[in-house]
Amino acid sequence: MEKIKVSVFIDRENRNASLELENNSVVLDLLDKLEINPVTVIVSRNNELILEDERLNDNDDLRILSVISGG
Amino acid sequence: MNCCNSKPIIGLYSGEKLCKIHFNDYFESKVSKTIRQFELLGKEENLGVALSGGKDSLTVLHILSKLSKTNPKIKLNAIAIDEGIHGYRDKTLEKARDFCNKNNVELHIFSYKEEFGLTLDEMLKILDVKPCSICGVFRRYLLNKKAKELKLTKLATGHNLDDECQSIIMNQMKNNIQASARLGPKVGLVQDPKFVQRIKPLYLCTEKEVTTYAFINGLLDSFNECPNVPQSFRAQVRDMLNSMEQKFPGTKYSTVNSFLQTLPLLKQQFRSDAVKICAKCSEPSANDICNACVYLEKLKNSIIVK
């Protein structure tokens, strides 16, 4: 089964990452791989929010935004 | 279950999934309901919002701003406290100024440096104390003092359900139930003219809901955390609660809702504790000398010794 490649920006860590996932992966699979608790983030693709069960596509460019208050 | 045919952007604890428009309505209705249910606002108010420039306080200011436009008897001001935390507060204050300029809200900024002679960073170099403890004392002191000077009738903060849940658990762990008696959507034990009543319109909104609302309303900036937070007790309790919420959805709601049932009993139990006046500064105090003056004395003595 072909894999997909996605790019993510993780705002809490201020870093970009590129990951390979199984085809048919969803947002939750991405968060699991990054060891990010889904309760603590919202995820956007092309400036639109997407849910944890949203299917990811090859070459997706995502932003993982922390919900945690700054202080 | 989706609200309609539009793409959902958030799933609620109930299982319902809401699109951008329906979520916006849901969130604003929830805040309105909180204000009504807990009688947070009267018919007329000279209302202040404690504005840090972060997503929570911007969200509460955004919603109260809309309310104030439709109800001219609710006058709105914003108060920001500049602790002088380098690389953090200056960024959030920029966001605060920007919002207030665009929305025609009067913004009053007060700094630790002007009021106490030192920034928080400078205080922490002199005294070996937990940053959040000293920062919290001075911030609450200044907010109350300046709110009174501005003749505000109420002061709204951006505290959300997650914040409250953390405070409840922290107080239990520290055997400080008296502190919990002061929690709730309306802060404090009794109404007293020495205090400007603080209210929490976002009380029943989770952090995730606030962030989602902030995102869709253009109030969310890049992640910016106070450098003193990661080491704090609160951060550890927060992480524990988020871990529990992941495994057992609804944990935070249940904790806060069950606490609300005990809150009237707690307020009753500790109501008789009189609010004193600080012998040094005449501000309200739990003791003969308020915590702010105690810290200021320690700072003064430490500087003299050095």
Three-class DSSP labels, A11-70:
CCCCEEEEEEEECCCEHHHHHHHCCCCHHHEEEEECCEEECCCCECCCCCEEEEEECCCC
Distances (CA, A) of B56 to A53, B30, B160: 27, 15, 8
Q: Is residue B10 part of a domain?
A: no
Return the CATH number at B59.
3.40.50.620
Partner-chain contact A68 B55, CB within 8 Å = no
CB B134 within 8 Å of CB B298:
no
Count how many domains chain B has.
Answer: 1
Record the pTM. Answer: 0.92
Pairing relationship of beta strands A41-45 and A61-66 according to DSSP bridges: antiparallel
Partner-chain contact B9 A49, CB within 8 Å = yes
Q: Is residue B199 part of a domain?
A: yes
Region for residue A5 given its phi and psi (left: phi exceeds 0; alpha: psi -120 to 50; beta: otherwise): beta
Confidence category of residue B286, pLDDT binned at 50, 70, 90: confident
B19-28, B149-158, B289-298: least confident range? B289-298
CB B298 within 8 Å of CB B305:
no
pLDDT above 70 covers what percent of chain B?
Answer: 97
Q: What is the ipTM of this complex?
A: 0.95
Q: Of B89, B65, B199, B203, which is closest to residue B138 (Cα–Cα)? A: B89
Confidence category of residue B89, pLDDT binned at 50, 70, 90: confident
Q: Is B7 strand, coil or helix?
A: coil
Pairing relationship of beta strands B197-199 and B276-277 according to DSSP bridges: unpaired
Give me the residue label for tokens 């409250």.
B164
Please name the amino acid found at residue B168. I
- Please give the residue range of the domain that contains residue B245: 38-219+228-272
pLDDT at B304 over 80: no
In chain A, where the domains are located? 3-66
| Tokens at B152, concatenated | 């505000």
CB B226 within 8 Å of CB B88:
yes
Question: B92-127: per-residue pLDDT in tens?
Answer: 888 899 999 999 999 999 999 999 999 998 998 988
Question: B201-260: per-residue pLDDT in tens?
Answer: 999 999 999 999 999 999 987 777 777 776 689 999 999 999 999 999 999 999 999 999
Q: Is residue B294 part of a domain?
A: no
CB B255 within 8 Å of CB B165:
yes
Residue B194 CB contacts under 8 Å (≥ 6 apart), including other chains: B275, B277, B283, B284
Q: Could you tell me how many CB contacts below 8 A there are between chain A and chain B?
A: 71
Tell whether A66 lies on the interface with B, counting CB pairs under 8 A: yes
Confidence category of residue B18, pLDDT binned at 50, 70, 90: very high
Better-predicted residue by pLDDT, B156 or B195:
B156
Rounded distance, CA B56 to CA B161, Å? Answer: 11
Tally of CA atoms within 13 A in the half-sphere of B30 that contains its CB: 19
Better-predicted residue by pLDDT, A5 or B271:
A5
**Interface residue of B10, B27, B91, B208 to substitute, partner A, most A CBs within 10 Å:** B208
**How many CB atoms are closer than 10 A to CB B286?**
12
C-alpha distance across the termini of chain A, in Å: 45
B11-20, B50-59, B80-89, B139-148: least confident range? B80-89
Q: How many Å lie between the alpha carbon of B212 and the closest alpha carbon of chain A?
A: 7
Q: Is residue B303 part of a domain?
A: no
Using CA coordinates, name the residue in chain A closest to B7.
A50
Rounded distance, CA B306 to CA B301, Å? Answer: 9
Rounded distance, CA B201 to CA B35, Å? Answer: 6
Give me the residue label for tokens 């900036």.
B221
A71 vs B contacts (CB less than 8 Å): 52, 54, 88, 225-226, 228-229
Question: B153-172: per-residue pLDDT in tens?
Answer: 999 999 999 999 999 999 99
Rounded distance, CA B205 to CA B211, Å? Answer: 10
A3-66 CATH, one of 3.10.20.30, 3.40.1160.10, 3.40.50.12160, 3.40.50.980 = 3.10.20.30
